[in-house]
């Protein structure tokens, strides 16, 4: 399995600052993730889980060690190459939704396809299909202010999956939602993993949300404290 890893972190270190002011956010992370996996990343604040997600999402680079994605050493890529990797292989869902307030749901979902220079008709059709997948057919022309929190997160998920990413990175995707809506959102994310084979990496503080994952990795003080299969997932 390790030879076929989609993602591999080897001895990854991340340090902010220098000298006595240096903060060692990651202290040698080794991690292997197979295609189609669903991983929940847990740990207290400051444990390194968000730093790791930023590195995996090509939003930051390690100070030391290596990050391989499909065998490519990401830490050796130029900034533009990392941007292209992020644009073509990764999708993101955030706790705060991160929708553009003055645009419609359809336009928000279209945004990643604009960055990929997709023709207007093709991106409109793809965005409509993505919104339909998350149960928002008929809501295309509503602004975020006209949508509930759950609906806004559904738009964010549609935006993340409209490019058909290899990996979906979700950072506290249910953090701003009530219990019932949280379960609806997790059923959507689990469905993309189960039915489309999208690899999911999710940061969460909530055990009931982590229960949807196949693996639970716990971070403590910049290190992986445990990496276990999730017995609650069938």
Residue 3 pLDDT: 52
From the first residue on, what is the mean pLDDT of each consecutive set of 10 residues in the chain (234 residues)? Answer: 78 93 94 96 93 94 96 95 94 88 95 92 96 94 94 94 95 90 93 95 94 96 91 47
Put simply, whether the predicted model's pTM sits higher than 0.85 gets the answer yes
Render pLDDT for 197-214 as a digit per residue (tens, 0 to 9).
999 999 999 999 999 999
Scored b (16 or more CB within 10 A) or e, 201-210 reads bbbbeeeebb
CB 198 within 8 A of CB 20: no
Query: Any idea of the CA torsion for 72, 165, 4, 200, to the nearest 10 degrees?
Result: 120
Residue 1 pLDDT: 36
Residue 2 pLDDT: 41
Residue 234 pLDDT: 38
Residue 231 pLDDT: 56
Residue 12 pLDDT: 97
- Which letter does DSSP use for residue 147 in this model? S
CB 187 within 8 A of CB 195: no
Q: Is 158 exposed, middle or buried (0-12, 13-18, 19+ CB in 10 A)?
A: buried
Residue 138 pLDDT: 94
- Domain assignments of the chain as residue spans, ordered by start: 2-229
- Beta strands 64-69; 215-220: pairing state: unpaired
Fold designation for 2-229 = Rossmann fold (3.40.50)
CA distance 32 to 65: 14
């Amino acid at each position: 399995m390790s030879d076929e890893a989609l993602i591999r972190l080897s001895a990854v270190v991340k340090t902010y600052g220098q000298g006595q002011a240096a903060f060692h956010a990651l202290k040698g992370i080794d991690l292997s993730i197979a295609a189609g996996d669903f991983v929940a990343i847990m740990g207290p604040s400051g444990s390194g889980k968000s730093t790791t997600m930023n590195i995996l999402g090509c939003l930051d680079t390690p100070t030391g060690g290596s990050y391989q994605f499909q065998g490519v050493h990401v830490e050796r890529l130029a900034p533009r190459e990392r941007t292209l990797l992020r644009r073509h292989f990764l999708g993101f869902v955030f706790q705060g939704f991160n929708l553009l307030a003055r645009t419609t749901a359809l336009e928000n979902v279209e945004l990643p396809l604009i960055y990929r220079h997709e023709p207007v008709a093709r991106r409109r059709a793809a965005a409509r299909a993505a919104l339909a997948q998350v149960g928002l057919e008929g809501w295309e022309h509503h602004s975020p202010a006209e949508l509930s929190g759950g609906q806004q997160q559904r738009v964010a998920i549609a935006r993340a999956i409209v490019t058909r990413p290899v990996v979906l990175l979700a950072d506290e995707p249910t953090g701003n939602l009530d219990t019932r809506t949280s379960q609806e959102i997790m059923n959507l994310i689990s469905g993309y993993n189960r039915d489309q084979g999208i690899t999911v990496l999710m940061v969460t503080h909530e055990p009931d949300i982590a229960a949807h994952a196949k693996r639970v990795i716990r971070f403590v003080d910049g290190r992986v404290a445990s990496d276990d299969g999730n017995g609650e997932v069938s």
